Amino acid sequence: MHFTKMQGAGNDYIYVDCFAEPVPANIPELARRISDRRFGVGSDGLILICPSERADAEMRMFNADGSPAEMCGNGIRCVAKYLYDHGIRRSKTLQIESAGRILSLELETVHGMVKQVRVDMGEPILIPDEIPTTLRSPKSPEQPVVDLPLSVGGREVRVTCVSMGNPHCVTFVDEPTDDWVLGVGPKLEVDPHFPKKVNVEFVKVLNGRELVQRTWERGSGETLACGTGACAVCVAGVLTGRTGRDVKIHLRGGDLSIEWMNSNNRVYMTGPAVEVFSGEWRG
Neighbour tally for 110: CB within 10 Å: 8
State which CATH number among 3.40.47.10, 3.10.310.10, 3.40.50.300, 3.40.50.2300 fits the domain covering 2-118+271-280. 3.10.310.10
In this prediction, residues 179-198 reach a mean pLDDT of 97
Q: What is the pLDDT of residues 226-271, one digit of tens each?
A: 999 999 999 999 999 999 999 999 999 999 999 999 999 999 999 9
Residue type, 166: N
d(CA 244, CA 222) in angstroms, rounded, equals: 26
Q: What is the pLDDT of residues 98-112, one digit of tens each?
A: 999 999 999 999 999
- pLDDT given at position 255: 97
- pLDDT given at position 153: 86
- Examine the pLDDT at 44 and tell me if it is beyond 90: yes
Give the rounded percent of residues in the chain with a pLDDT score beyond 70: 100
Q: 227 by DSSP, 3-state: which?
A: helix
Q: 69 by DSSP, 3-state: which?
A: strand
What DSSP string runs through 170-197?
EEE-SS--HIIIIIIHHHHHT-TT-TT-
d(CA 189, CA 236) in angstroms, rounded, equals: 18
Q: What is the pLDDT of residues 108-147, one digit of tens each?
A: 999 999 999 999 999 999 999 999 999 999 988 889 999 9
- pLDDT given at position 283: 76
Pairing of strands 221-223, 210-217: antiparallel
Using a cut of 0.85, tell me whether the model's pTM lies above it.
yes
Q: Are 129 and 144 in contact (CB under 8 A)?
A: no
Give the start-to-end residue ranges of the domains of the chain. 2-118+271-280, 128-265
In this prediction, residues 63-85 reach a mean pLDDT of 96
Instruction: Confirm whether 2-118+271-280 and 128-265 share one CATH topology.
Output: yes
d(CA 233, CA 30) in angstroms, rounded, equals: 31
CATH architecture of 128-265: Roll (3.10)
Active site residues: 72, 226
- pLDDT given at position 213: 98
In this prediction, residues 3-11 reach a mean pLDDT of 97
In this prediction, residues 38-63 reach a mean pLDDT of 97
Q: What is the pLDDT of residues 77-87, one digit of tens each?
A: 999 999 999 99
Confidence of residue 156 (pLDDT cuts 50, 70, 90): very high
DSSP category for residue 238: H
141 Cβ contact partners less than 8 Å away, ≥ 6 residues apart? 128
